[in-house]
Chain A
Amino acid sequence: MNDMRLTERVVTDTAKMTARGVQVHYGTNHALKDVDVDILDKTVTAFIGPSGCGKSTFLRCLNRMNDTVASARVTGKIEMDGQDIYDPRVDPVQLRAKVGMVFQKPNPFPKSIYDNVAYGPKIHGLARGKAELDEIVETSLKKAALWNEVKDRLASPGTGLSGGQQQRLCIARAVATSPEVLLMDEPCSALDPIATAQIEELIDELRAQFSVVIVTHSMQQAARVSQRTAFFHLGYLVEYGETGKIFTNPNDPRTESYITGRIG
């Protein structure tokens, strides 16, 4: 609620996901130590911190991507809308439809633009016919601000698009399954400034519909797009708070050292 940017939409206070006492070990390496975070609904949350600080590890806990890493061991509790996502009855594939993910490098399937977006809704059975699927593809591409650029060549391969377009295609693909949370792991680090600005604008629009969690190495990007910022350091969540506050007057000296570019 305490958003310093006056023109911004109001930030909700309801938690979409809550993490309590989350620990992650990769074999003997203790990568994440006792993290407590509330990811707010319809809010962009940025995770910042130096390489190896645990921010990506934590992001991957939120949709159980760490399940795919054999050496990873996750303890603690992560709930979404009050339901434990690590409950054995939860199907991780279903969970990942609700908690979508976009990666650092655009990774479209070697298929057509249409099929890239239609793939998720198809395997999750979200469309009852061709017409409905067409509609999902169109609205997803529109949400990803890509429709106008590709509507005349939906059958051409997704890999033939430019880097920025490919990344927006991946966002359209993630959006197509109607997620409630969208995780983004450095979604702009392989893009030029124009494509970056388009993705950032998109992120701001997307937050009207769901929560976005973004890991970024660009502190300016975190400052620009997020309403909440979490700073990770050496596996600890050092500070979590309103973005304007973190970037003008952080509480922890380690946060201060990191965001001002000092050796911390």
Chain B
Amino acid sequence: MTTTHILSAFDRDLEGIQAMVMRMGGLVEAAILDAAEALETRDEELAQRVRAGDKAIDALEEQINAECARVIAIRAPAASDLRTVLTVMKIAANLERCGDYAKNLAKRSMVLAQMTALPGVTGSVRRMAKQVTLLLKDGLDAYIARDARMAEDVRQRDQDVDQMYNALFRELLTHMMEDPRNITPAMHLHFIAKNIERVGDHATAVAEQVIYLVTGAVPGDARPKVDSTTTGPNA
């Protein structure tokens, strides 16, 4: 829908809520990238900033929920307006979880900064973080553009993240088998990798909300999964 409401305040309300979600998305993307950078460069100050920054993300989610409740109560949105409000709330919840994962990554990076580095792993984590933030960004861009095809593309691309996670899983396992002293950092790094992989799932959930917003139906087909760590013993 490109035309505006007869009641222009309704348009301002909806635009306001969507702007908040975009701001939230920007903060989450930055938090994930910063946390991954802090991990690779062992920058504890940056990690601390990411941990403190999660409060702003949580506050935005609360504000979005309150605004959505107000719009539902006052404007009684219907059809695409209703779907806009519903999807905004769900996307905000997804972003909030991603923010928590970034915070956790930052926390673990501070622990890892005190240990011997496992060669190459933090670089892979950072590449994976970059990939998921791209998914998040494209999911949110698809949202603003009301572009279901772009959202479907995000859904499909999540398997790249899954593949990166599988590779990292094996790499960490190798490090642990080589030397038991690697187990503590490898476990931390594995949680980090798993959390980033979860961010990819949330990006997929955002993309599914976009598809619901545009078409009125949630995609029914199962999306491709390549997480072999939960299905095969060969990991």
A interface residues (Cβ-Cβ under 8 A, vs B): 219-220, 223, 247-250, 253, 255-257, 259-264
Question: Given contacts A260-B81, A263-B4, could you give 4 more A-B pairs where the C-beta distance is less than 8 Å?
Answer: A247-B78, A247-B82, A253-B1, A257-B1
| Assembly CA distance A248 to B84 (angstroms) | 11
A250 touches B79 (CB 8 A): yes
B80 touches A261 (CB 8 A): no
Chain B residues with Cβ below 8 Å from A259 are 78-79
A263 touches B79 (CB 8 A): no
Chain B residues with Cβ below 8 Å from A223 are 78
> Is B216 interfacial (CB-CB < 8 Å)?
yes
B1 touches A261 (CB 8 A): no
A–B pairs, 13, beta carbons within 8 Å: A220-B76, A223-B78, A248-B79, A249-B217, A250-B79, A253-B1, A257-B3, A259-B79, A260-B77, A261-B6, A261-B10, A262-B6, A263-B3
One of B6, B76, B80 near A256 (C-beta < 8 A): B80
B83 to chain A, nearest CB (A): 7
One of B1, B6, B78 near A219 (C-beta < 8 A): B78
Chain A residues with Cβ below 8 Å from B80 are 256, 260
Please give the number of chain B residues whose Cβ is less than 8 angstroms from any Cβ of chain A in the complex. Answer: 17
> Is B7 interfacial (CB-CB < 8 Å)?
yes
A256 touches B1 (CB 8 A): yes
Report the nearest A residue to B212, measured CB to CB: A249
| Assembly CA distance A247 to B3 (angstroms) | 18
Number of A-B contacts (CB under 8 A): 45
| Assembly CA distance A144 to B98 (angstroms) | 55
| Assembly CA distance A222 to B7 (angstroms) | 20
Chain B residues with Cβ below 8 Å from A253 are 1
B212 to chain A, nearest CB (A): 9
A249 touches B76 (CB 8 A): no
Report the nearest A residue to B86, measured CB to CB: A248
| Assembly CA distance A261 to B80 (angstroms) | 11
B57-79 interface bits toward A, Cβ cutoff 8 Å, 1 = contact, 0 = none: 00000000000000000001111
B105-117 interface bits toward A, Cβ cutoff 8 Å, 1 = contact, 0 = none: 0000000000000
Report the nearest B residue to A223, measured CB to CB: B78
| Assembly CA distance A248 to B77 (angstroms) | 9
A197 to chain B, nearest CB (A): 16
Within B1-17, the residues touching A (CB, 8 Å) are 1, 3-7, 10
A263 touches B6 (CB 8 A): yes
Taking A219-B78, A247-B79, A249-B79 as contacts, is the C-beta distance between A262 and B216 under 8 angstroms?
Answer: no
Chain A residues with Cβ below 8 Å from B78 are 219, 223, 247-248, 259-260
B85 to chain A, nearest CB (A): 12
Chain A residues with Cβ below 8 Å from B76 are 220
Closest 7 CB pairs between A and B? A249-B216, A259-B78, A260-B81, A262-B3, A247-B78, A256-B79, A261-B5
Chain B residues with Cβ below 8 Å from A247 are 78-79, 82
| Assembly CA distance A220 to B73 (angstroms) | 12
Report the nearest A residue to B84, measured CB to CB: A260
B77 to chain A, nearest CB (A): 7
Chain A residues with Cβ below 8 Å from B217 are 249
Chain A residues with Cβ below 8 Å from B5 are 260-262
| Assembly CA distance A220 to B82 (angstroms) | 13
Q: Which of B10, B76, B78, B81 has the most CB of A within 10 A?
A: B78
Report the nearest A residue to B82, measured CB to CB: A248
A260 touches B216 (CB 8 A): no
Chain A residues with Cβ below 8 Å from B216 are 248-249
Report the nearest A residue to B3, measured CB to CB: A262
A260 touches B7 (CB 8 A): no
One of B4, B10, B77, B83 near A249 (C-beta < 8 A): B83
B14 to chain A, nearest CB (A): 10
| Assembly CA distance A232 to B80 (angstroms) | 19
B3 touches A248 (CB 8 A): no
